Amino acid sequence: MIKSGFQTLDEIATSLDLKIREPTDHPLDLYVTIPPNRLIEVIKELKAKYNVSHLSTIIVQDLQDEYKLLYPFSINLSGGKMGKLIIDSRVDANEPKIDSIVKEIPGAIYYEREVYDMMGIQFKNHPDLKRILTPDSLPRDIYPLRKNITSEEIRRRLAESRKEREAEEKLKEYIRREQLEYISEKSDYAIAIGPQHPSLEEPIRFIFQVEGETVKDVELRLGFNHRGLEKAFESRTYAKNLYLAERICGICSDAHQLCYVQAVEKCAKITNDIPERAQYIRTILAELERIHSHLLWYGVLAHNTGFDTIFQFTWRDREIIMDILEEISGNRVNYAMHAIGGVRRDISTEQVAKIIPKLKKLRKRIVEHQKMMMKETSFVVRQKGIAPLTREEALSFCAVGPNARSCGINVDIRRDDPYAAYDQFSLDVPIVTEGDIYSGLVIRLEESLAALDLAVEVLKTLPQGELRIKSPRRIPEGEGISRVEAPRGENIHFVQSNGTTKPERIKVRAPTLANMPSLKKRLIGIQVADIPPVVRVIDPCIGCMDRVTFVDSKTGKTMELSGEHLISRGNRAYRLGTRVLDF
Amino acid sequence: MTSTNIIFKLLSYSTIYFLIVTGFFIIFAGFPQIIIVLKYFLFPGIIFIILGALFYSWFERKIYARMQNRIGPPFMQPIYDILKLLVKEDITPDGVEMLEFNIIPPIQLTLTLLLAFFTPVYMAEGLISFEGDLFFLLFLLAVLAGSIFLVGWSSNNPYGLIGGSRAAIAELSLEIPLTLAFIGPAILAGSLQLSNIIQSGFNLIDIPLNVIFRPDAYNSLHLLYIIPLSIQFYIAVLSANAVLEKVPFDPAHAETEIVGGWNVELTGKKLMFSHLANLVLEFALAGIIAAIFLGGPGFWPLNSFTKGLFLIGQWDIFYYIINTLTFLLKTTVVIFFIAVNRTVLSRLRIDQLVQYFWRYYLPIIFLALLMIIYLIGVF
C-alpha cells in the first residue's frame, strides 16, 4: 500500500474536489456527494491516486422520488488505519439508471446484481445483469425492497404466480433447458453441485463445465435461502431487530448482532458512551465465536478431503468452546448478548475462573490438530498449490477476511477500523502469500490460536463497571455504517433511522458474498476432486449471504416450536411435497 | 414391516429352500453329496462368507470409529443395513442402460462370492483350488473393476460417469503392484497355487516359527525374508484399500465430491447387491492377503503337531476348528491394517493415486522382489 501523506479522509476528499455531505463524529467515516455521471471518473482517480480497490458493498435506499446509492470504499490512511469513504450518489426514481463500475472494480459484479434484483436499478454496461437472489417464479415487475410494495403483496403475488399453470410450464421448460445444458457444446459434460450436495452444508448451486477432470467454466446460482430479511427489518422495532440480526447466520450470529448494534449506536450517536466492561465482553464474544467458527471450518475441510479423523477430533474439541459460550450466554448458538448501548449479560469472576483453564486445554488441542494436519502428507498434497489466487486478483475481486489474508493482503478490520475493545490490545494478524488452500488452512489455524490468546488476555483484564447505558426507544434520524471482522471476513451493516421506533432501511452484506467473485476465479482450471475443498476455502455461509430467517412466512411472527411440532411439520412437508411452501 | 418380521421371513424362506435342496440331494444323489452341498452353501460357502463379511464390516467400522473417538455401530448394524436396503423401493431411473444397470449388481455379488470361494478357511485349499489360481483371482478383480465402470457408465449420470472412469483408472494403477506383491511369496513357494504358497511356510509368521521349531531346515538368516515380505504385505494392504474404495484410495467413491460415484443411481436391491458385494470382497481380499502373507489357516510348523494331537478319525474336528480360528484371527489383522490406513490418511485425488502406485509403489515392490531373488541365490 502506498503510504500517502494524507492524514484524514477530509483531506482526501478535498484533494479530489469532492463535496462533503456533512461532518460525522467518526474520523474513519466520511460521506461525500457526487452526481452519478461523475462516479466512474472519481473511482478512477481514487484508484490511481490512493490505490483504492476495495468496495465493501452497494447500499441503496428508496427515497420515493429518488434512489440513494452509497458506495463505501476502503482507503488506507497513514497510521495504519483504514477509512470508509462513502460515495453518495442519487438517481431519479423515474429513470433508475447508473453506470456500472464492474470494469473498474470487478468485485462489484454481484453487488450490482443484488441491487438490480432488490431495487430495480439498471446498471449500464454491466456484463451479466440478471436477478440473483429472488426465485424464478417472482413476477418480473416486483422489486421487493422498494417502498411501494409491502411484504404481504410480494407473498400474495408469489403465491399467485406459483399457482398459474403457465408459469409452472415455464418453470418446467426452464428446468428442462438447464438439464440439457449438461450435454452442451462448451465442454464434455456439465456437473451440477448443489443446491443439495454432501459437501455443501447450505444450499447454493454450481454448474461446472468439465473436460475430462478439469473445470473449464462455472455458473453460480444463489438465493435458495433468501427469505427477505432486509424487508423484515423494516417492519420491526430496533429491539426486535436485535434478535432478527443474530438469526441471519448460525455460525457468525454474534458478528451480525454486534455489527447491527454498532450501526444503530452510530445512528443514535451513543458510540462513545458505551461502558468499557461492555466493550470488553463484546470482544470476548467475538473472539470465542471466531475460534469455534475456525474449528468448524478446518474440521469440515478435512471431511471434504476425506480425512474424517480430523473432522471427528475437531468437532469433539469444538464442544469445549460451545460449552464456554453456553456458560456465558446460556445458548450454544444465537447468544443474544448484545443490546443497543451495551451488553445484556455479565461475565462473573467465577465464570472467568472456569473459562480460562478450559481455553488453555483447548489451546493444547488446537496445537495438536495443527501438528496432525501439517504433518500428514496425504492431506497436505491435496492443499498445496491448489487454486491459487494472486494478491492482485484478490484485491480486484474485493476479497475479505482469511481469504484475503491468505493471498498476502494485510487487512483486518479489528486492527484497521477498531471497534469494541480491540484498540486496547495488540493484534497478531497472520499473513500468508501463497493464496492456495493450504495457506487458508495455515491462516485459520494461526488465527484461532491468536484469538484464543486474545480471549484469555481480555478475560484477565476485564474492567469493572456498568454493563449498558439506557438507549432511546426512538432512534433519532441519521445513518450508521458499521464493520466488524466476522470469522469469515469483513461484515458490514448499514442502518438508516427516521426518528421512529422502526428503521427506515437496513442493509446487510455478509462476508461470503464479497468472497464469491474470487471463488469463481479460483474454481476455473481446478480438478473435479478439488471442488469441495476450494469451495470450502472461502468458508461459505450461504445463510448469511442469502439472509435467511426462521420467521414464519404466513403470520410474520417468530414461533417457538417444540421438537415434536417440528417433526410433524417435517412429515407434513414431506407428504405434501412443495405444496406446504405456499401455505 | 418391522425388521424382526423381515428376519423371520428371510430365515424361514432360506430354511425351506435349504431343506428342499438337501432333500433333493438325499433322494437323488445320496448322503456323500450332502457334504458338498453343505460345503458350498453353509461352511465355508455362501452363508459363512456372507456372515463373515458382515462381521468384518462391523469390525472395521467399529475400529475406525474407536480410533476416531466415536462409539461406532452396534453389532447387528451391517445386517440392518442390508435389510433396510432390501425393503427400500427399487428404482430404475429414466435414461439408464436398462440391461447393464439392472444385471451388473447381482453379477458383482456372484463374482465376489466366486472370489471368496478361493479363500482358504479351514485348510490350505479353499473350496476351489488349482494351479495358477492366484492369477485367476487377479483376473476376477479386473472383471469386477470392469463391472464397476459399466455401472457408472450405464447410470447416465455425470457423477456415475466420473466415478466409473476413476474406478477403471484406479484398477489400471493398482493391478501391477498388487500382482508383483503376490509374486514374491509365489516365487518363494515355487508355485502359483494359493494352497502351495500357504504350505511352503514362507510368510511373516511362519518364518520366525520355522526358525525356532525347525532349526535343521531353516537358519536365522531366513529371517531376512521378512523385510521384502513385509514391504509387499503392506503394499498389498494399500492395494486392498484401493480395490475396496476406502480412504486414502477412494476417489472413485468420494462421497463429498461425486456423491458415491458409480453407485449414485443404485437404489434398493441393486444397491444392496452392490453393497454386499463390496463387503464380501473385503472379506475375501483380506482372507487372501492373510493367506499369502500371514500363512492362512493354522501356524504351519505348529499345525503338524496339533494334527497329531487331536486326530479323531477322518474328520479331525479340533484341527479344523483351530485352523478356522487362526484364519479368522489373521484376517482380523489385515482388516485392522485396512482400518488404520483409512483412519490416519486423507483421500487422494485420482492423479495422485496413479502417481503413488506407479511412481512410488511399483519401484519399491520391484526392489523387494529383487531382494527376494537375491536371497534365494544366497541360501
pLDDT tens sequence across B34-66: 777 778 888 888 889 999 999 999 999 999 999
Any B CB within 8 A of A307 CB: yes
Give the C-alpha distances (Å, rounded to integers) separating B231 from A332, A533, B187, B225, B235. 49, 33, 15, 10, 6
With 50 as the cut, is the pLDDT of residue B183 above it?
A: yes
Summarised one tens digit per residue, pLDDT across range B117-152 is 999 988 888 888 888 899 899 999 999 999 999 998
Summarised one tens digit per residue, pLDDT across range B219-247 is 777 888 889 999 999 999 999 999 998 98
Summarised one tens digit per residue, pLDDT across range B267-286 is 888 899 999 999 999 999 99
User: Is residue B150 exposed (0-12), middle (13-18) or buried (19+ Cβ within 10 Å)?
Assistant: buried
Summarised one tens digit per residue, pLDDT across range A341-370 is 888 888 888 989 999 999 999 999 999 999
Q: Measured between alpha carbons, how far is A192 from B157 in angstroms, rounded to an integer?
A: 10
With cell 447410470, the residue in question is: B155
Candidates B176, B165, B159, B180; CA nearest to B351 is B165
How many residues are there in chain B?
379
Q: Measured between alpha carbons, how far is B247 from B61 in angstroms, rounded to an integer?
A: 13
C-alpha cell of residue B239:
492395494
**Domain ranges across chain B:** 96-378
Candidates A287, A215, A205, A228; CA nearest to A252 is A287
Does the reported pTM lie above 0.80? yes
- Which amino acid is present at A528? V
With 80 as the cut, is the pLDDT of residue A93 above it?
A: yes
Our CA-based measurement puts residue A575 at a distance from the nearest CA of chain B, in whole angstroms, of 16
With 50 as the cut, is the pLDDT of residue A549 above it?
A: no
Our CA-based measurement puts residue A571 at a distance from the nearest CA of chain B, in whole angstroms, of 18
Q: Residue A583's pLDDT band (boundaries 50, 70, 90)? A: very low
**Domain ranges across chain A:** 9-129, 243-509
User: Cβ atoms within 10 A of the Cβ of A567, count?
Assistant: 11
With 90 as the cut, is the pLDDT of residue A41 above it?
A: no
Summarised one tens digit per residue, pLDDT across range B73-90 is 999 999 999 999 888 888
Our CA-based measurement puts residue B65 at a distance from the nearest CA of chain A, in whole angstroms, of 9
Chain A residues in contact with B352 by the CB 8 A cut-off are 381-382
Of the candidates A306, A316, A532, the beta carbon closest to that of B346 is on A306
Chain A residues in contact with B350 by the CB 8 A cut-off are 213, 529
Topology at the third CATH level for domain A9-129: Beta Polymerase; domain 2 (3.30.460)
Please give the mean pLDDT across all residues of chain B.
86
Q: Which whole number is the average pLDDT over A423-448?
A: 88
- Which amino acid is present at A198? P
Q: Measured between alpha carbons, how far is A95 from A109 in angstroms, rounded to an integer?
A: 21
Summarised one tens digit per residue, pLDDT across range A211-257 is 878 888 888 878 777 778 888 888 888 888 888 888 888 888 888 99
A172 vs A466, which has greater pLDDT?
Answer: A466
Q: Which residues of B182-207 are buried (b: 16+ CB within 10 A; e: fewer)?
A: bbbbbebbebbbbbbbbbbbbbbbbb
pLDDT score, position A363: 92
pLDDT score, position B306: 66
pLDDT score, position B90: 85
With cell 486414502, the residue in question is: B248
Q: Measured between alpha carbons, how far is B205 from A128 in angstroms, rounded to an integer?
A: 68
A86-100, A173-187, A297-311, A357-371: which has the minimum mean pLDDT? A173-187
With 90 as the cut, is the pLDDT of residue B23 above it?
A: no
Give the C-alpha distances (Å, rounded to integers) separating B373 from B87, B113, B236, B323, B377. 54, 34, 19, 31, 6
Summarised one tens digit per residue, pLDDT across range B153-171 is 888 888 888 889 899 999 9
Q: Which whole number is the average pLDDT over A114-129?
A: 86
Chain B residues in contact with A191 by the CB 8 A cut-off are 158-159, 162
Candidates B27, B42, B44; CA nearest to B321 is B44
Of the candidates A316, A376, A532, the beta carbon closest to that of B257 is on A532
Q: Say if the Cβ atoms of A382 and B161 lie within 8 Å.
A: no
With 70 as the cut, is the pLDDT of residue B7 above it?
A: no
Q: Which whole number is the average pLDDT over A269-291?
A: 89
Q: What percent of chain A has pLDDT over 90?
A: 8
The CATH code that applies to domain A243-509 is: 1.10.645.10
Q: Which residues of A515-549 are buried (b: 16+ CB within 10 A; e: fewer)?
A: bbbbbbbbbeebbbbbbbbbbbbbbbbbbbbbbbb
pLDDT score, position B339: 93
Maximum C-alpha span of chain B: 69
Q: Measured between alpha carbons, how far is A446 from A370 in angstroms, rounded to an integer?
A: 9
Q: DSSP readout, B148-173? A: HHHHHHHTT-HHHHHHHHHHHHHHHH
Q: Measured between alpha carbons, how far is B340 from B332 in angstroms, rounded to an integer?
A: 12
pLDDT score, position A551: 41
pLDDT score, position A581: 40
With 70 as the cut, is the pLDDT of residue A97 above it?
A: yes
Summarised one tens digit per residue, pLDDT across range A496-511 is 888 888 888 888 888 8
Candidates A162, A154, A175; CA nearest to A227 is A154
Chain B residues in contact with A180 by the CB 8 A cut-off are none
Of the candidates B67, B250, B350, the beta carbon closest to that of A306 is on B250
Please give the mean pLDDT across all residues of chain A.
82
Our CA-based measurement puts residue B254 at a distance from the nearest CA of chain A, in whole angstroms, of 7
Enumerate residues 6+ apart whose C-beta is below 8 A from A19: A32, A33, A34
Of the candidates A191, A312, A379, the beta carbon closest to that of B70 is on A312
A197-211, A308-322, B187-201: which has the minimum mean pLDDT? A197-211
Enumerate residues 6+ apart whose C-beta is below 8 A from A349: none
pLDDT score, position B364: 94
Chain B residues in contact with A378 by the CB 8 A cut-off are 248, 345-348
Q: Can you say whether the dihedral through the CA atoms of A182, A187, A189, A190 is positive or negative?
A: negative
Which of B60, B250, B346, B353 best probes binding to A when mutated, by most A CB atoms within 10 angstroms?
B346
Q: Residue A148's pLDDT band (boundaries 50, 70, 90)? A: confident
Of the candidates A191, A302, A303, the beta carbon closest to that of B158 is on A191
SS3 B23: helix
pLDDT score, position B362: 93
Any B CB within 8 A of A531 CB: yes
A197-211, A459-473, B235-249: which has the minimum mean pLDDT? A197-211
Summarised one tens digit per residue, pLDDT across range B296-344 is 888 777 776 666 665 555 567 777 888 889 999 999 999 999 999 999 9
A4 vs B368, which has greater pLDDT?
Answer: B368
Any B CB within 8 A of A529 CB: yes
pLDDT score, position B234: 92
C-alpha cell of residue A263:
450501526
pLDDT score, position B231: 93
Summarised one tens digit per residue, pLDDT across range B189-215 is 888 999 889 888 888 888 888 888 877
A345: Cα within 13 Å, side-chain hemisphere:
15
A-facing residues of B in 283-322 (CB < 8 A) are: none
pLDDT score, position B2: 61
A-facing residues of B in 141-170 (CB < 8 A) are: 158-159, 161-162
With 60 as the cut, is the pLDDT of residue A1 above it?
A: no
